[in-house]
Amino acid sequence: MPASGSFEHVKQETKASEAWLLDRHGQKLHRMRVNAQVRRGEWIALADMSPALREAMVLSEDKRFYEHSGVDWKAVSAAAWGNLLNQRTRGASTLSMQLASLIDEGPRTGSERKNIFGKAGQAISATSLERSWRKDQILEAYLNLVPFRGEIQGIDALSRTLFDKAAHGLDAREAAIAAALVRAPNAKAQTVASRACGVLRSMQPTNDADCAALAALTQAVLPRKAWEASDGIAPHAARRLLAKAKVDQRSTLDAALQRQALQSLQQHLRELRGRNVQDGAVVVLDNASGQVLAYVGSSGELGTAQEVDAAAALRQAGSTLKPFLYAQAIQEQRITAASLLEDSSAHIPTASGLYIPQNYDRSFKGWVSTRTALGASLNVPAVRTLVMVSPDAFAKQLRKLGLPLKNEGDFYGYSLALGSADVSLLSLTNAYRALANGGQYSESSFVKTAAAPAQTVINPQAAFIVSDIMSDGNARARTFGTDNVLATRFWSAVKTGTSKDMRDNWAVGYSQKYTVGVWVGNASGASMWDVSGVSGAAPVWASIMSYLHERTPSRAPQPPAGLVREGVNFSAQGAQMLEAPRQEWFVSGTQQVQFARESTNTPKSIALRAASITVNSQKSLKNTEKNQIAQITSPAAGTIIALDPDIPPRHQRLHFKAKGDAAQWLLNGKSLGDANHKQWLPMPGRHTLQLADAQGRVLDEVKFEVRGAAMKMAVVKSASAVVK
Q: What is the DSSP string of 317-353?
A: -GGGGHHHHHHHHHHTTS--TT-EEEES---EEETTE
Distance CA 365, CA 182 (A): 80
User: Which amino acid does the sequence have at 167?
Assistant: A
Q: Identify the pLDDT of residue 294.
A: 98
To 5 degrees, how large is the angle CA 608–CA 613–CA 614?
145
Q: Identify the pLDDT of residue 78.
A: 52
Q: Identify the pLDDT of residue 423.
A: 97
Q: Identify the pLDDT of residue 298.
A: 95
Q: Identify the pLDDT of residue 204.
A: 94
Nearest to 374 by CA among 475, 474, 226, 298: 475
Q: Where are the alpha helices (DSSP H) in 440-551?
A: 460-470, 473-480, 538-548
Give how far the C-alpha of residue 639 lies from the chain's centroid of Cα atoms, to the nearest Å.
35
Sheet holding 152-153, edge to edge: 39-40, 152-153, 147-149
Kind of pairing, strands 152-153 and 39-40?
parallel
What's the full length of the chain, in residues? 724
Q: Identify the pLDDT of residue 178.
A: 96
Distance CA 162, CA 174 (A): 9
Low-confidence ranges of the chain (pLDDT < 50): 1-4, 80-90, 106-113, 360-362, 575, 598-628, 709-724
Q: Identify the pLDDT of residue 257.
A: 98
Distance CA 496, CA 470 (A): 10
Q: Identify the pLDDT of residue 472.
A: 95
Q: Which three-class secondary structure state does DSSP give residue 260?
A: helix
Segment holding 238, helix H or strand E: helix 235-245
Q: Identify the pLDDT of residue 502.
A: 85
Nearest to 537 by CA among 318, 287, 349, 701: 318
Nearest to 720 by CA among 646, 649, 631: 646
What distances in angstroms separate CA 544 from CA 252, 282, 418, 576, one per listed residue? 17, 9, 26, 40
